[in-house]
């Protein structure tokens, strides 16, 4: 630790799954962590801010397969590619000190050593896993934990799972973890404690399955080929491997472990407040000082997710409103520990009221008046009026302490509310003192100078404390106040600016946004660029042997007719190369006239069990391509070159 520092401070975000591009919900936690890290730096701490990506697991393996690339290529694209994770953090001005990827060699090797250590100390043992698995959440569940037979986290379908696996003796640590949760401030907000204890610990904490054999994209268990380490073990230990635990890449463990706080979303509190401390206990390692489970940013009352198609693109918002306004909005509008409803109206309204009206106006009016009435610099001769000044001075000089108290509790919304009370008070102070009236009489100039000085000084303190939220704006305001100091020690003192401060003009910091026009523009941008809609891809994989059982054959249409009393069905008589006609019924009457299909070479699946449709047997299925255009269903039969003989097998 450096001599001048107040101490070391280690703060982390969750490491993100690069299974799809990140959205504003992901940015929420990272912006909050960034604000906290910047706040601690401002206070004088030596901060280590860690973020990264959690790149293993079956979901990634499946998605890569569906995209026709290797899992490594798939994650590289989302992490390093254009508008990927790194680009997003750059855009959002995230001041992380270290970025870990769980596919980094040093991390993989460290995880193998950690797994072996727990195996050697007897806390990991080999057994057989029989239970339920939720693929999207990468979580195992016992029947008792399911809610209506579905995953208790995401509400999705779970699959039966049975395989030889390693287990972690989570049950052994149940009492110690319960004590940690109930009798310390380890987990916040407190409301999350009872949820963990009542839902997970009291019903009986079972040992946790910590290896898989049904896929390969993970950290291999080096002493038992075929097993890969459960993705959450791999992920949770990132907080320590990124400091050099069980590796030589970094050497910061002594300085920064235990972490001061892990910021995480509420759905992963279970992993961080039960499994994580239990594993650290197993290795006799110090526990992080705090885990804070923040709420979700909701859209239309539900969590944002790619699969629901209700994600909000942070690039669009940052491009239209500016990064600082977006960062500010996220932390000003929602209490960090609770869920918040995102809407474009709320975003625009917050920018207009707080930033354009209150802060922006205060800065521009104050600077403009200083320049208009005194030119380059304020005169040193100034006249105080304790009666008119006392309240503003007291509020501004006491602001840092009130703000600090809230920031230490991660109550970002309240910390910002404290700042905006002072900003409002300063705007009122302008009206009370009416500088434009004072300016009319030469003899009032010393008083006018003092009024403007008080305003500039108030702006300095407010902007300094806004630095963690809006770093670029704070720097710009400092410039407009003639390079005003905004270091921590200066922010609880009134009278730091020199009396002859020279203000500098500039354009409006936050121009007012026309709500109606902007909403219409955002609506337009959110419309899909293409009018074509295709069926979403399934995440379920089919093994090769099962797929090969489908018999796909070329068939020639000998005749085709509408089925009586059905406006959907066409009845095909087909030559399938066997010498016996094959009849297939297909619900495509609204797309084709029967006569236009005679003589065509189509593709049929021929080994489906026959079934009756409108009383007629149908022996197989014809393949077609389907999509929607402007909401309208489109269908085309797959047609082959007519030189392909009837019965040719497709493989």
Residue with smaller CB distance to ligand MSP, 79 or 452: 79
Least separation in angstroms between CB 522 and ligand MSP = 18
131 interacts with ligand MSP by CB under 6 A: no
Binding positions for ligand MSP, 255-274, rule CB under 6 A = 264-265, 267-268
336 interacts with ligand MSP by CB under 6 A: no
Label residues 249-263 b or e (16+ Cβ within 10 Å = b).
Answer: ebebbeebbebbbbb
36 interacts with ligand MSP by CB under 6 A: no
Least separation in angstroms between CB 52 and ligand MSP = 9
d(CA 597, CA 588): 12
Q: Count other Cβ atoms within 10 Å, centred on residue 588.
A: 18
Closest-by-Cβ residue to ligand MSP is 265
Contact 86, 80 (CB under 8 A): yes
When binding is defined by CB under 6 A, the residue of 54, 61, 404, 575 that contacts ligand MSP is 54
Least separation in angstroms between CB 192 and ligand MSP = 13
Q: How many residues does the chain have?
A: 651
Q: Which stretch binds ligand MSP (CB under 6 A): 105-113, 296-304, 411-419, 615-623?
A: 296-304
Q: How many residues bind ligand MSP (CB under 6 A)?
A: 20
Q: Which stretch binds ligand MSP (CB under 6 A): 25-33, 279-287, 587-595, 614-622?
A: 25-33
Least separation in angstroms between CB 30 and ligand MSP = 8
Least separation in angstroms between CB 292 and ligand MSP = 11
Q: Count other Cβ atoms within 10 Å, centred on residue 142.
A: 12
Contact 101, 55 (CB under 8 A): yes
Q: Count other Cβ atoms within 10 Å, centred on residue 115.
A: 27
Least separation in angstroms between CB 462 and ligand MSP = 28
Q: For every residue of 64-125, which 3-state class applies, written as one string?
A: HHHHCCCHHHHHHHHHHCCCCHHHHHHHCCCCCCEEEECCCHHHHHHHHHHHHHHHHCCCEE
Contact 327, 30 (CB under 8 A): no
Query: What's the half-sphere exposure (Cβ side, CA atoms, 13 Å) at 167?
Result: 18
297 interacts with ligand MSP by CB under 6 A: yes
Kindly state the tokens that stand for 385: 């009026």
Contact 303, 339 (CB under 8 A): no
When binding is defined by CB under 6 A, the residue of 50, 174, 235, 474 that contacts ligand MSP is 235
Q: Which stretch binds ligand MSP (CB under 6 A): 22-30, 157-165, 313-321, 415-423?
A: 22-30
Binding positions for ligand MSP, 156-175, rule CB under 6 A = none
Least separation in angstroms between CB 294 and ligand MSP = 7
DSSP per-residue string spanning 396-445 = HHHHHHHHHHHHHTT-HHHHHHHHHHHHHHHHHHHHHH-HHHHTTSGGGH
Q: Which stretch binds ligand MSP (CB under 6 A): 233-241, 359-367, 369-377, 580-588?
A: 233-241
| Of residues 183, 319, 197, 236, the one with CA closest to residue 52 | 236
C-alpha dihedral sign at 520, 522, 524, 526: negative
Residue with smaller CB distance to ligand MSP, 26 or 169: 26
Kindly state the tokens that stand for 58: 């079956």
Output the CA angle 469-368-364, nearest 5 degrees.
25
Q: Which stretch binds ligand MSP (CB under 6 A): 9-17, 88-96, 356-364, 437-445?
A: 9-17
Residue with smaller CB distance to ligand MSP, 23 or 460: 23
Contact 597, 557 (CB under 8 A): yes
Contact 48, 12 (CB under 8 A): no
314 interacts with ligand MSP by CB under 6 A: no
SS3 percent helix, strand, coil of the chain, rounded to 5, is 45, 20, 40
Residue with smaller CB distance to ligand MSP, 340 or 620: 340
Residue with smaller CB distance to ligand MSP, 169 or 262: 262
Least separation in angstroms between CB 17 and ligand MSP = 4
When binding is defined by CB under 6 A, the residue of 9, 10, 15, 115 that contacts ligand MSP is 15
16 interacts with ligand MSP by CB under 6 A: yes
Q: Which stretch binds ligand MSP (CB under 6 A): 23-31, 363-371, 408-416, 581-589?
A: 23-31
Residue found by looking up tokens 């208009």 in the block: 372
296 interacts with ligand MSP by CB under 6 A: yes
111 interacts with ligand MSP by CB under 6 A: no
Contact 454, 430 (CB under 8 A): no
Least separation in angstroms between CB 125 and ligand MSP = 24
Kindly list the residues in this chain that would bind ligand MSP in the complex (CB under 6 A): 14-17, 25-26, 28-29, 54, 235-236, 238, 264-265, 267-268, 296-297, 303-304
């Amino acid at each position: 630790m450096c001599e001048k520092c107040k101490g070391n401070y280690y703060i982390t975000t969750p490491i993100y799954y690069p299974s799809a591009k990140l959205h504003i919900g992901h940015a929420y936690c990272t912006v909050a962590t960034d604000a906290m890290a910047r706040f601690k730096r401002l206070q004088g701490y030596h901060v280590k801010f860690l973020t990264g990506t959690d790149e293993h697991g079956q979901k990634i393996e499946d998605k890569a397969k569906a995209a026709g690339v290797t899992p490594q290529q798939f994650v590289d694209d989302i992490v390093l590619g254009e508008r990927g994770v790194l680009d997003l953090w750059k855009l959002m001005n995230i001041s992380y000190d270290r970025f870990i990827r769980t596919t980094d060699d040093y991390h993989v090797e460290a995880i193998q050593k950690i797994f072996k250590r727990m195996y050697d100390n007897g806390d990991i043992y080999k057994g057989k896993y029989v239970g339920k698995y939720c693929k999207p959440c990468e979580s195992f569940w016992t029947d008792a934990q399911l809610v209506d037979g579905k995953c208790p986290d995401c509400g999705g379908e779970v699959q039966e799972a049975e395989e030889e696996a390693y287990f972690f003796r989570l049950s052994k640590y149940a009492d110690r973890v319960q004590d940690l949760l109930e009798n310390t401030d380890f987990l916040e907000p407190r409301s999350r404690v009872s949820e963990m204890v009542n839902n997970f610990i009291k019903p009986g904490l079972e040992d946790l399955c910590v290896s898989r054999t049904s896929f390969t994209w993970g950290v291999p268990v080096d002493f038992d080929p075929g097993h890969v380490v459960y993705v959450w073990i791999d992920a949770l230990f990132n907080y320590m491997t990124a400091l050099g635990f069980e590796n030589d890449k970094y050497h910061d463990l002594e300085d920064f472990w235990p972490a001061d706080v892990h910021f995480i979303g509420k759905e992963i509190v279970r992993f961080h407040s039960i499994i994580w401390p239990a594993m650290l206990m197993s290795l006799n390692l110090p526990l992080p000082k705090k885990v804070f489970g923040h709420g979700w940013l909701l859209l239309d009352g539900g969590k944002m997710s790619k699969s629901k198609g209700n994600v909000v693109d942070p690039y669009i918002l940052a491009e239209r409103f500016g990064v600082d306004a977006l960062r500010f909005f996220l932390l000003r509008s929602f209490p960090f520990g609770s869920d918040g409803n995102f809407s474009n109206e709320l975003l625009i309204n917050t920018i207009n009221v707080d930033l354009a009206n209150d802060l922006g106006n205060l800065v521009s009016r104050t600077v403009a008046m200083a320049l208009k009435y005194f030119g380059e610099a304020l005169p040193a001769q100034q006249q105080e009026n304790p009666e008119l000044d006392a309240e503003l001075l007291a509020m501004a000089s006491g602001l840092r302490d009130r703000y600090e108290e809230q920031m230490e509790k991660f109550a970002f919304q309240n910390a910002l509310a404290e700042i905006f009370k002072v900003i409002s008070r300063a705007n009122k102070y302008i009206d009370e003192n009416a500088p434009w009236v004072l300016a009319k009489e030469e003899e009032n100039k010393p008083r006018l100078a003092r009024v403007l000085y008080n305003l500039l000084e108030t702006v300095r303190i407010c902007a300094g404390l806004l630095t963690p939220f809006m770093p670029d704006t704070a720097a710009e305001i400092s410039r407009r106040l003639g390079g005003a100091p905004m270091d921590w020690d200066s922010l609880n003192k009134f009278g730091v600016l020199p009396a002859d401060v020279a203000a500098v003009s500039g354009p409006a910091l936050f121009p007012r946004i026309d709500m109606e026009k902007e909403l219409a523009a955002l609506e337009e941008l959110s419309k899909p660029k293409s009018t074509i809609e295709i069926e979403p891809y399934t995440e379920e994989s089919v093994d090769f042997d099962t797929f090969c059982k489908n018999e796909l054959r070329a068939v020639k249409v000998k005749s085709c007719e509408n089925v009586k009393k059905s406006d959907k069905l066409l009845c095909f008589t087909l030559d399938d190369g066997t010498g016996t006609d094959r009849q297939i019924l297909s619900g495509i009457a609204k797309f084709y006239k029967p006569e236009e299909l005679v003589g065509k070479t189509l593709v049929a699946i021929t080994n489906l069990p026959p079934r009756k449709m409108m009383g007629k047997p149908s022996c197989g299925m014809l393949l077609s391509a389907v999509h929607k255009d402007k909401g309208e269903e489109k269908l085309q039969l797959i047609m082959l070159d007519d030189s392909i003989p009837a019965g040719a097998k497709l493989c």
